[in-house]
Structures are given as C-alpha cells and as structure tokens.
Amino acid sequence: MYRTFLFAFALFFAHVSVAQIPASQIQFDNKIFDFGKINFRSAPVQAKFTFTNNSAYPLVIRDVKAECGCTVPSWPKTAIDPGQSAEISARFNPDNYAGEIDKKIEVYANFQDAIAIPLHIAGTIRQPAGANSGFVKGQFGYLRMLGNVVAYGKVKNTQTSTSEMIVVNDYNRALKITKVVKKPSYAEVSIPEGDIAPGDTAFIKVTVDGSKVGDYGLQNDVILFETNDIYYSTKSFELALDVEHDFGKMSKGKLKKAPKIVIEPAEVDMGIIRRGARKSKKITIKNAGKRDLEIFKVSSDCSCAMITNDVKIIPAGGSQEVFVEFDSVFKSGEQRKYIYIYTNDPLHQVVKLLVHARVDE
C-alpha cells in the first residue's frame, strides 16, 4: 500500500512538473524596465521584473537568455506555484554604451503557446558635453568617436533595431557631419543636423532592418561618412549584428509539427592528420519532425572546416548524407573548429557542429 502511494505520488508530481501553461497567464508588472537617463560610464543598472503565476500549474523557468554579454540575468531556480509571485533580475553594465538602449532578455519556461517571453531594459546613456574620456580618434582628425563598432547583438529577421555612435568635437571650432557616403541596404542612418560646437557631443543614429539583411548569422558592414574635419575628413565605423529567424509567434500546434534536426554523429573526429593533408568524413542530417527541414545557411569559424556538398531541404522523416572536410594546411597540434548550420527548426535554429583533429608534422 505504501509503495503504491509513493508510485502514484511520483506520477502526479511528474505530471505537474511538466504541465504546460499559457504564457499569457504569467502576469508581469512591467515587461520594460526603463532606467531613464544616466551619464556615460555610470555604475551598472539592476533591472527587476516582478511577475505572478496566474495559471493552474507551477511555472518552471528553464533559462533566461540575454542578447549580449552586457546583461547578466538571474531567476528563481525552483517552481513558482499558482498564485505566487516572484522576480527576475538582470544586471546591465552600461560601460562602452551610449545613446538610446534597448537590451532584450528572453524567459524560457514550460509555456504551451510560446517559446519565450521577451523582457526589455531601456533608457538613454549620455556623455556630458566636453568630456573626452573613452573616445578614440577614429581615422585621426578632430571628430572623435566612441570606439569603432556599433553592436546590436541578436536581431530577428522580422524586427528593426536602433543604436547610436556617439561623437565628440575635440577641435576649437565647430565641426559638421556633411553626408553619409556608404551604408548597407538594410540600414538607415540619421546624422546630426547643424554644427557640433567645440567640446560638444552628437549622435549618429543607425536603424537596422533584419527583414532586409537577406542572410543569417553574424553580419559586419561599414558606415562611411564625410565631415568638414580639416584632417581626415572621411571617417567610418562598423556595424555588427547577429541575424536569427523569428519563431516567436508560432502556436503550440505549429511547434508540434515543426521540423527537428538530428545530426549523426553529433561531432566529427578526424583523428590524426598529417600537416598539409585533407580528410573528409560522412555524417547524416535527419529530419525527425513533421514539416520540411530547411537549411538556410552553412558557415564555419575557419575555412579549413566545411561541408562540401549542398543541402537545402530535407522532408519530414527524411535524411541526407553530407561530407565534412578538414584542411590541415598551416595547422599544427590539436584543432577544434565549428561549423554553424542555420535551420527552420525553432528549437535548434543554429546547430554548432564540432570538428576536431590532431595535426602532426
């Protein structure tokens, strides 16, 4: 009798622990934490998001992911029972950021109708007029920029994201940004109107449109602009964004019928290779889902490791053999390289395939 009771209790607990709940029944006091206006290089901001579980089952938060390393989230590691309230916090480090900020974190839990709930940390970081700390010369001259890269983090292929490059006039006369010479087609650039007085700062606002990129993964492009700086009038900075497919609006039914990528083996061991030689191995990409698996893109962190044959669509229940090649020219010792496979599997939209080898002389 006692064993039967324990068994029944275990089954009940297992059922409750995995029960799915509607994301709409998790009520947040506010999904946007606005820290207002702070000075450049202020102390870190601690954002707090309070919520209540209004569903009939416990909420189990599996993970909270931030779009960049500037934000470190923390969350309850135990289940939140029906009717209970709890808090998700995130520490945002504003160092090296300026202008309007919108940093996203995503809450992954036992939701039945959504992959994650997005939360936002927003506000404005301004550099006081005349303060030069942290600025670099860019392409020399007197108009200085805060670094040389505007980084957006992850941008979905359905969304736009805006950030700014902050500049300061380090000259004794007014300077002006006259025109934008070069930009990628997916970016809109707004330059400051009028002159920038000596010691003053200004902002170049850049809005990127993920739907116009036409690619996935890390994108690096250049913004080139002209100024009336008497030395090095042409200046530039880079854009960096990581484009991913948007699965946020998929219903529970579509998620159940979604494609599912399976790679066998999960990593590729090339063994020992003589330096300068090439070696290839066969792997199988399977679709264990109920819809066609689309391979959007295949890239690598090194041209020495690649998939040599083309693969685009794998039907539900189907598979395709592909060949992974490793080129050991100019390599020596232990090697670990990654191939990135971008797919329409909502749970594995980017698969990292590890290729390792030992290169001997």
Query: What CATH number does the domain containing 71 carry?
Result: 2.60.40.10
Helices (H) and strands (E) in the chain, counts: 2, 25
Contacts of 321 (CB under 8 A, 6+ apart): 282, 283, 284, 285
**More confident call, 137 vs 215:** 215
Length of the chain: 361
Residue 163 and residue 95 share a domain: no
Compute CA distances 316 → 309, 319, 331, whole Å.
Answer: 20, 9, 39
* 264/269 Cα distance (integer angstroms): 12
Q: Which domain holds residue 53?
A: 19-123
Instruction: Provide the number of structural domains found in the chain.
Output: 3
Mean pLDDT score, 83-94: 93
Mean pLDDT score, 20-46: 90
**More confident call, 145 vs 129:** 145
For residue 70, tell me if it sits in a domain.
yes
| Domain-ending residue, one of 213, 229, 249 | 249
The maximal CA–CA distance of the chain, rounded, in angstroms, is 91
pTM: 0.60
> How confident is residue 274, by pLDDT bands cut at 50, 70 and 90?
very high
Kindly give the pairing relationship between strand 149-156 and strand 234-244.
parallel
Write phi, then psi, for 33 (nearest 5 degrees): -100, 110
Contacts of 5 (CB under 8 A, 6+ apart): none
How many other C-beta atoms can be found within 10 angstroms of the C-beta atom of residue 353?
A: 22
For residue 9, tell me if it sits in a domain.
no
Place of tokens 């579980």: 53
> How confident is residue 315, by pLDDT bands cut at 50, 70 and 90?
very high
Residue 215 and residue 144 share a domain: yes
| Domain-ending residue, one of 94, 123, 152 | 123
> How confident is residue 18, by pLDDT bands cut at 50, 70 and 90?
low
- Cβ burial 81-96 (10 Å sphere, 16+ → b, else e): eeeeebebebebbbee
Residue 145 and residue 118 share a domain: no
Residue 203 and residue 112 share a domain: no
**pLDDT (0 to 100) of residue 30:** 94
Residue 338 and residue 236 share a domain: no
Residue 232 and residue 265 share a domain: no
Token digits of residue 42: 């202020």
* 82/66 Cα distance (integer angstroms): 26
Mean pLDDT score, 326-346: 94
Residue 119 and residue 137 share a domain: no
**More confident call, 141 vs 181:** 181
| Domain-ending residue, one of 102, 123, 144 | 123
Mean pLDDT score, 213-223: 93
Write phi, then psi, for 178 (nearest 5 degrees): -90, -40
